[in-house]
């Protein structure tokens, strides 16, 4: 239950590349979350992707295997470097930049009625 002036804040995990965008409604994608919130009567819906690049997503998937903090920090730095290089290459080639940013690891939803 939420008061009429209440604010809904929620997060959902999402470690998979978005495909069939913008009409992927069968998983908790940004479009599905917006649709669900609007159907529930929310009018001000803000969806914030967390992560968003392929190497960072890979580190999030592998994190349960590498629970050593130093290893996690090293993998995260390597992922940031890999994603940076991938972004530069996509810009240089003039294609693929939209694809590089379609790997969120979760979404945060902030909605008001």
pLDDT in tens, 18-76: 666 667 667 788 888 999 999 999 989 999 988 778 998 888 888 777 777 788 888 88
Range 81-90, long-range pairs (CB < 8 A, 24+ positions):
82/54, 82/55, 83/53, 83/54, 83/55, 83/56, 86/53, 86/54, 86/55, 87/53
Q: What is the pLDDT of residue 39?
A: 94
On the question of pLDDT at 17 being above 70, the answer is: no
Tokens of 98: 């939209």
- Of 11-15, 61-65, 71-75, 105-109, the one with minimum mean pLDDT is 61-65
Q: What is the pLDDT of residue 37?
A: 95
């Amino acid at each position: 239950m939420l008061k009429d002036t209440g604010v809904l804040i929620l997060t959902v995990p999402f470690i998979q590349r978005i495909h069939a965008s913008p009409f992927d409604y069968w998983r908790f994608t940004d479009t599905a979350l917006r649709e669900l919130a609007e159907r529930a009567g929310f009018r001000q819906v803000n969806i914030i992707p967390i992560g968003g690049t392929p190497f960072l997503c890979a580190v999030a998937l592998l994190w349960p295997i590498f629970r050593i903090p130093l290893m996690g920090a090293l993998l995260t730095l390597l992922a940031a470097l890999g994603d940076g290089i991938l972004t530069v290459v996509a810009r240089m080639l003039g294609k693929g930049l939209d694809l590089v940013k379609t790997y969120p690891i979760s979404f945060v939803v902030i909605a008001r009625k």
